[in-house]
Structure 1
Amino acid sequence: MGYKKTIKTSGVSGSGNQDAFQSPMLTSTNYTVWAIRMKVLLNVHKFWDTIDPGATDNDKNNIAIALIYQSIWEATIMQVGNLESAKEIWNTIKTRNLGDDRVKEARLLTLMNEFDSMRMKETETIDEFVAKLSCTASKAASLGEMIKETKMVNKFLSSLP
C-alpha cells in the first residue's frame, strides 16, 4: 500500500486555516480513492479550481502541482514533469490510470462481471461483504457507471450464504 506524507501549507495564500494534512500516495491499484482524497484536499485548501475549471493563477497552480507531486512516485513525476499546469498533470494521471474510452469500457465490463459473480464467503462478515460491494460500486462510478441502490440490495440479498 502507499504511504502518506504530511504537507504543511500554513502561511500559503489560499491554504485555509489548516496547518497540515495527509496526502495519499497514488499506487497502481488505488487511483479512484486517491483521486477522491486529493480532490477533497485540494478543495479544502482552495486549490481545486486550478484543476476544475483550470484557473490560471500562477501561484495557486504551482502549489497545486507541488501537492500533486507529493502524492505520486518519482517515476510518475518523470512522466508528467514537462507539463505546466495542475490541470494537465491531473488529466494525464487520470488517463494513465483509467485509460481511454475503449480501455475504460473493458475495465467496466470486467468490473461488472466481477460484481455479478460476487458471493459472500462463509468466513466473511456482513460488513466486509458490504465494503466489497461498495468498493466495486465506487470503482464503477469512477468509470462512469452508477450501480443503482436496488441492484446493490438485490446483489447483497442474493449473495448471502
Structure 2
Amino acid sequence: MASNSGSNIYESQSITKPSFFNGDNYPYWKNSMMLFIKSNDYQVWDVVEDGSFIPIKREGDRLIPKVKMEMTDDDRRRMQVNDKALHMLFCALGPDMYSKMSSYTSAKEVWDTLETTYEGTNDVKETKIGLLNLSYENFKMEPDENVTKMFDRFSVIVNGLKGFGEIIPEDKLVRKLLYSLPESWDSKRTAIIEAKDLKTLKLDALMGSLLTHEIMKQGREDEKKREENKLEKKEVEKKKIGIALKDSQEESDSSGEEDDEEMAMLAKRFTRFMKSQRGRRFQRKVDFVGVSPKTSH
C-alpha cells in the first residue's frame, strides 16, 4: 500500500512519540510501534493484542454489558486503557490512514485491520513467512559483498520473520551468519569458533569481529597492490631504459656507417687528386726540356 509522497515512517523518531505511519514499510512500523506501546504501558499492549475490557453484569443466566450508570471506578479505569491504546495508534497514523481507521472504537480492531491490510490474510502471511524462511535458509554472503551489506540483508530477513512472530534465537543467528561466510573466511570462522562460546556470543560482537578482520584484510590487500604497482613501475622503467639504449646503439651504428662512407669518399677524392697532381708534374717536366713525349725516341 503506497503512501502519499513525503509521508514516511522516519519523520518522528523519539522515545516520547510513536513512529509515524502512512502506508510504507509496515513490518518496520509494526515492530517499532509494538516496542513503543510496551515500553509505555504493558497493559496497553495487552488491550491491543487481546481486545478491550467490557464491563459486564449477570442478569439471570446471562452476562450482559453494563450501562454507563452501572460502571464502577475500576471498570472506567480498565476501559480507559483501550482509549489510551487508541490514542497511541491514532497519533502514529497519517491523515490518510487515520480517516480509514477513525470509525473503530477498539485498539485491537485498528491493529488487526492494519495487519490484514498490510500483511494479508493468514494464507498470505504463511506464504510470506515461507519465502522469508527460504531466504534465511539459503542465505550466503554474495561475491564482492562487504560485511556491512551482508549484515543489512540478513537483518531485513530476520526482522521480517520477527514481524510475523517468527523469532529466531540469537545463538542460531550467530551460527547462521558464521556459516554464511565464503571459503576465503574459513580461517577467521575457525578462530571465532575456537575462541568464542557461540551460545553466548552476541550478534553485534560477531559483527565487530568480522568488521575488524575485513579492515585488516583490506589493508593487507591494499599493501600488496602498492607493492605490485611498484614492481610494475620498475619494469616499465627498465623497458624504457632498454629502448633508449637500443635507440642510442642504432644511432651510433648509423653514425659509424655514415663516417665510413665519408672516409671512403674522401679517400676516392684524395686518390683522384694525387693522380691529377702527378699528371701536372709530368707535363711541366716535358715542357721544360722542350721535347714532345711522342718524339723523345
Q: TM-score, normalised by structure 2?
A: 0.42
Cα displacement (A) at 1:89: 0.6
Matches within 5 A, 1:44-63: 44-46=39-41, 47-56=44-53, 57-63=78-84
Q: Which residue, 100, 119, 130 being the options, matches 1:79?
A: 100
1:122 to 1:65, Cα distance in 2 relative to 1, 3 A: same
Amino acid at match of 1:60: V
2:30–2:163 CA contact under 8 A, matched in 1: no
Cα displacement (A) at 1:117: 5.6
Cα displacement (A) at 1:51: 1.2
Cα displacement (A) at 1:58: 3.4
Cα displacement (A) at 1:24: 0.8
Q: Which residue, 76, 88, 106 being the options, matches 1:67?
A: 88
Amino acid at match of 1:64: A
Alignment gaps of 5+ in structure 2: 1-7, 54-77, 185-297
2:52–2:107 CA contact under 8 A, matched in 1: no
Query: What's the C-alpha RMSD, in Å, of the aligned pairs?
Result: 2.9
1:152 to 1:120, Cα distance in 2 relative to 1, 3 A: farther
- Could you say which residue in structure 2 is the equivalent of 1:158? 180
Cα displacement (A) at 1:90: 0.9
Provide the aligned length of Structure 1 versus Structure 2: 148
- Could you say which residue in structure 2 is the equivalent of 1:11? none
**More relative contact order, 1 or 2 (CA 8 Å, 6+ apart):** 1
- Report percent identity of matched pairs: 18
Quick one: distance in 1 between partners of 2:96 and 2:117? 13
- Could you say which residue in structure 2 is the equivalent of 1:21? 16
- Could you say which residue in structure 2 is the equivalent of 1:42? 37
Quick one: distance in 1 between partners of 2:143 and 2:167? 25
For each residue in 1:60-116, what CA deviation from the matched residue of structure 2 results, as whole angstroms up to 9, or x when unmatched?
Answer: 322221211121222222222211111111111112121112111221233234442
Quick one: distance in 2 between partners of 1:52 and 1:158? 36
Q: TM-score, normalised by structure 1?
A: 0.71
- Could you say which residue in structure 2 is the equivalent of 1:4? 11
Cα displacement (A) at 1:121: 4.4
Matches within 5 A, 1:112-127: 112-115=133-136, 116=138, 118-124=140-146, 126-127=147-148
Alignment gaps of 5+ in structure 1: 8-19
Amino acid at match of 1:84: T
